[in-house]
Amino acid sequence: MKVLVPVKRVVDYNVKVRVKSDQSGVDIANVKMSMNPFDEIAVEEATRLKEKGAATEVVAVSCGVAQCQETLRTAMAIGADRGALVQTDAELQPLAVAKLLKALVDKEQPQLVILGKQAIDDDANQTGQMLAALLGWPQATFASKLEVSGDSATVTREVDGGLETITLKLPAIVTTDLRLNEPRYVTLPNIMKAKKKQLDNYTPADLGVDVAPRLKTLKVTEPPARSAGVMVPDVATLVEKLKNEAKVI
């Protein structure tokens, strides 16, 4: 079974982003970029499937600027066998990415695609579901446990109020939640090995996909700031303030 894992290059989750003063977006020049944390979990899960013998090949794919190659090399250092980059400088929205991924799925014919549940930059939480829809495949989002046997996958999902378990007919789409696994650290020898792995390059035109954005961002602003709070010396003062000043209890 071949597994396809899409990965996204995003601003590192430790970076506190700043909104540009002209409100055109957030300032991501010269900030540290990393693989989206949910995608790391996806690569780890695919690698574990391979180590268990359930998967034969893991292909990492990414869409975006040339530097996404670094993200793909990281995926290959974790355990992906090879990579594919759809290179473009254009702004890519989830629907466009889903269409690019569909074209890659048509080419690669995987039985399983594992994506992160959302990217921590646009927080959209759409691409996996959209890809499933375009392919007409079943989906299991927010997965915290994945088992593959024969031509089906059993997935435990994190839902409001607890967990639910569903089975999917393969081929299928799975999106990862945080608790699915703990991604491994990449070691130096594996980073070196990853440099030698195959990395194919495509453009949206090669794949025949129109990536024009459907949503126009009119402006990006700072969230309303909270007014500065006060420190209270003891519990009695706290209760008094909550009762008489804030009037919330």
Q: How far is the CB of 43 from other proteins (least distance, A)?
A: 18
Q: Is 29 in the site for other proteins (CB under 8 A)?
A: no
Whole-number minimum distance, CB 215 to other proteins, in Å?
5
Q: Compute the least distance from the CB of residue 110 to other proteins, in Å.
A: 16
Contact 232, 245 (CB under 8 A): no
b/e map of 84-113 (b: 16 or more CB within 10 Å)? bbbbbeeebbbbbbbbbbbbbbeeeebbbb
**Minimum CB distance to other proteins smaller for 205 or for 220:** 220
Near other proteins by CB under 8 A: residue from 168, 194, 209, 211: 168
Give the alpha-carbon dihedral of 9, 13, 18, 20, to 10 degrees.
10
- H helix or E strand, kind and range, residue 156: strand 152-159
Site for other proteins in 38-97 (CB under 8 A): 93-95
Positions in 209-238 near other proteins (CB under 8 A): 213-223, 226-227, 229-232, 234-236, 238
> Which residue, 188 or 215, has its beta carbon nearer to other proteins?
215
Q: What minimum distance in Å lies between the beta carbon of 87 and other proteins?
A: 22
Q: Which of 2, 12, 17, 199 binds other proteins (CB under 8 A)?
A: 17
Site for other proteins in 89-128 (CB under 8 A): 93-95, 98, 117, 120-128
**What 3-state class would DSSP assign to 179?**
helix
Residues whose CB is less than 8 angstroms from the CB of residue 100 and which lie 6 or more positions away in sequence, other chains included: 63, 86, 92, 204, 207, 209, 211
Give residues with Cβ within 8 angstroms of 156, minimum separation 6: 143, 144, 145, 146, 163, 164, 165
Is the Cβ of residue 163 or residue 192 nearer to other proteins in the bound state?
163
Shortest Å, Cβ 54 to other proteins: 19
